[in-house]
Structure 1
């Protein structure tokens, strides 16, 4: 490999280099005509000093402040948590209004995807009948319904692990394969959500959960829902119905709601639910896929299990896809507010008006204050896996994570549980937790999620396809059962970010049309975790 491919400088203003392959102390690399000798071993994805740092000096990457030297760092030495501490740029008021140069989208201007059209104008990439409880007390009944409906309606898959255990129990390597049958319905999926909320916490958490669940019902991927209530919980049926009304007052979706304390025995309730839901599912099965413009795509942008390459390969590729979709009239959602720490000024400047900018800053400040009050801080965001793979400060992680949002203007800023109403790039306040964030974006209307990972994350969602994009080819080859698209070609120089983004856009059109199943859907990875912002009472 040539010297130039051993290291990378992300932004002209940076004073650090990204190591692209393992280097040893004493190795020499030449960057832009300047020779740099490694003072320490440096693994791929980590960063080395391009200049000598004194204690307190600013460290710049992605063109922004990502830390301060906590001690003297020699040129050519690797940056670690021992010699660098988190520091981020101080945000000021909005400095200017965005003047965006949209990418050329003529290649996709007339393209469509095959989706499920809803009466309110939204278009789904799936057609799902959804079962869920308003309170955790009903989880057992949801589990029972899941067992019944999946056994009778869905084509069972041979469980290789069940067969393995059976062979061990029988002492026989040859075991009979289970008989396969066809799914009863062709155009409808039946999915089930369970959670630990709805009661026991503060009232605000129940109201927040109501908005989230209402968002799932309103999501274009959902044809209708069966909802179970106990009766005495904080999240009353009336609160849930109010949340539905606020999101979409003209919704015509079928929503079947049952309250156990009014219906009596479990047997009486389950028999009624099964009969009613079966008839509703049969009606929902009549809906067929029809062509829809790409402007009907609402894509969530997520990263999890990030590594030192995420911010220079997979995340910028998502950013280009986001820009392409926005230019086509579609929608993208950027969440994970703790991972926007340090890039607030850029996002403030990209907001279409001062009201949106002020709302973003207030949500960020309130979130950070709540974290500090709990005895932590945004600087504690990088996980052990992140740090091991080169993301040593929150500001460094954030600067790379924000690349998922591309360069388009921010048309709206949403608090957790608010539903997307504006086409374009939306900011959504969520935690950095992978599943909590993905759960929230789908609850705000995302009909597909793009999820980057450098370490390998199997996250999926009950109602929206989650397309997994790896930042490096080693991961894509090692965990090919969970990775859909590999952007390691950007690191190797085989593709540009724009070229990889175009490949990804074509891929998600196939996923949105039902031609290709995401790996998360193949694995039936149906993750759902609401954000619990309050305490238990």
Structure 2
């Protein structure tokens, strides 16, 4: 059966979404036809909307009419804008006991000596400061596989997924309170990550972020090999020492075997980037269905990007297991409101030009679609950026909306796999965690298939339901967690995307 040309998400909605480009006269429903051309993924009014009246999608407010809108008109940035409205947080009103499965699924993971489970087996090189970034990169490059020629310095170590340098642009010239603590918390999360068998941290020697201070504050003594360029005797000697260390531990790193472990050992980071008008219709709800399965099987999913939850937080507080958990989320929203005012910005600045070209009009609309990734289970905890995620179930982590920064925080918090939805075609990796890319529409999937793992456009095409797509995603999560390489891994993405959140003044 040919799908209808428009998508109606809720009976209370006064707009529909164009499944395909619509020409004037196209049937929209409610005895309304398109009054003008409506691009695919964009909205059209099916009711008269008076000036200042709410525009509704998902049965929720996504903005307010900045001018009177007649049925059949295109609804977008030219006639829809942000506005304040009262939210009922109703803490815990929709929290329900989780329907756990009787026979949880398993995957083939790597059990570390401390009991944590890895989905990959990397050797990591971290840097305390930007000044040691080049040296770290040179060390890692000595062991890098060439995706074009096939040359592989690690051919004799098939169980080692790679040697990766994760560098950043800070570590010095920074204030020594929360910005430094946040950086150290992020680095420590990576140093402890189960997807690393061994970790080196390289410094220059005179930076604010002293390696000794990092190790003492984060209790990392004995967990990593530390060296700084000034003490070792310069860049060349440090590279030689780093290479020698890696060569010395390759055999040990290679001595791992995968074993059957329960899904309760999975921590899945939920991300979206390059979103479009279909994100909240296909890929995000499908990932939400998969998230529910992960939780029902005993695992953990981590939603983040606080500015991209703004305006939809009242739907998450209703799912909070306690008022305290719900209030943590609301407090984050207040912080972000104050932060944007202080920085002379606004929350609605978040939808990017690509988001808007794809049909998203306001941050409210984007947030309502983004939160669908977290499914429907209870919100069990809210944590700070890069803080270790200890609770099992659906957890929210405070991060910016910028994808690399958000995912870096989630992986630092312990995520051992990333699921990333995109409508415009974002390319992304997140070493040491594998990143699964989910396309919202079939046209984009076919156009850049080398970067996309799963096509959720099948939902729009009428080929499967959201729940069926969610089951397919869940099964793929288990395969990737067991060692199947993702498209981004095949092209060696994941090192450049390491991006700790930078706070405070650069001094």
TM-score by length of 2: 0.95
Secondary structure of 2:125's partner? strand
Which residue of the partner structure matches residue 221 of structure 1? 195
Gaps of at least 5 residues in structure 2 are none
Secondary structure of 1:68's partner? strand
For residues 158 and 190 of structure 1, what CA distance do their matches in structure 2 show?
18
Gaps of at least 5 residues in structure 1 are 160-177
Secondary structure of 1:149's partner? coil
Question: Where does 1:88-99 land on structure 2 (aligned, <5 Å)?
Answer: 89-99=85-95
How far residue 102 of structure 1 moved from its aligned partner, in angstroms, is 4.4
* Residue 419, structure 1, aligned to residue 388, structure 2: yes
Q: Which runs of 4+ in 1 moved over 6 A?
A: 178-182
1:461-510, Cα deviation, whole Å (9 max, x unpaired) = 12010000000000110000000000111111211111000011111111
For residues 112 and 270 of structure 1, what CA distance do their matches in structure 2 show?
41
Structure with larger Rg: 1
Secondary structure of 1:213's partner? helix
Secondary structure of 2:425's partner? coil
Which residue of the partner structure matches residue 148 of structure 2? 158
Change in 2 beyond 3 A, CA 1:452/1:89: farther
* Residue 14, structure 1, aligned to residue 10, structure 2: no
Secondary structure of 2:74's partner? coil
Q: Decide whether the 8 Å contact of 1:207 with 1:235 is kept in 2.
A: no
Aligned pairs, number: 503
Change in 2 beyond 3 A, CA 1:315/1:388: same
Which residue of the partner structure matches residue 517 of structure 1? 485
How far residue 101 of structure 1 moved from its aligned partner, in angstroms, is 6.1
Task: After superposing the two structures, state which structure 1 stretch, 76-85 or 350-359, moved more.
Answer: 350-359
Q: Decide whether the 8 Å contact of 1:25 with 1:40 is kept in 2.
A: yes
Secondary structure of 1:5's partner? coil
Which residue of the partner structure matches residue 54 of structure 1? 50
Which residue of the partner structure matches residue 25 of structure 1? 24
For residues 491 and 168 of structure 2, what CA distance do their matches in structure 1 show?
20
Change in 2 beyond 3 A, CA 1:225/1:478: same
How far residue 81 of structure 1 moved from its aligned partner, in angstroms, is 0.5
TM-score by length of 1: 0.90
How far residue 182 of structure 1 moved from its aligned partner, in angstroms, is 6.4
Which residue of the partner structure matches residue 290 of structure 1? 259
For residues 16 and 87 of structure 1, what CA distance do their matches in structure 2 show?
18
For residues 402 and 88 of structure 1, what CA distance do their matches in structure 2 show?
20
Which residue of the partner structure matches residue 122 of structure 1? 116
Secondary structure of 1:449's partner? strand
Task: After superposing the two structures, state which structure 1 stretch, 130-139 or 283-292, moved more.
Answer: 283-292
Which residue of the partner structure matches residue 169 of structure 1? none
How far residue 239 of structure 1 moved from its aligned partner, in angstroms, is 3.1
Q: Decide whether the 8 Å contact of 1:64 with 1:89 is kept in 2.
A: no
Which of 131, 137, 140 is the equivalent residue of 2:131? 137
Change in 2 beyond 3 A, CA 1:54/1:93: closer
Task: After superposing the two structures, state which structure 1 stretch, 397-406 or 113-122, moved more.
Answer: 113-122
Which residue of the partner structure matches residue 202 of structure 1? 175
Which residue of the partner structure matches residue 377 of structure 1? 346
Q: Decide whether the 8 Å contact of 1:66 with 1:88 is kept in 2.
A: no
Task: After superposing the two structures, state which structure 1 stretch, 204-213 or 63-72, moved more.
Answer: 204-213
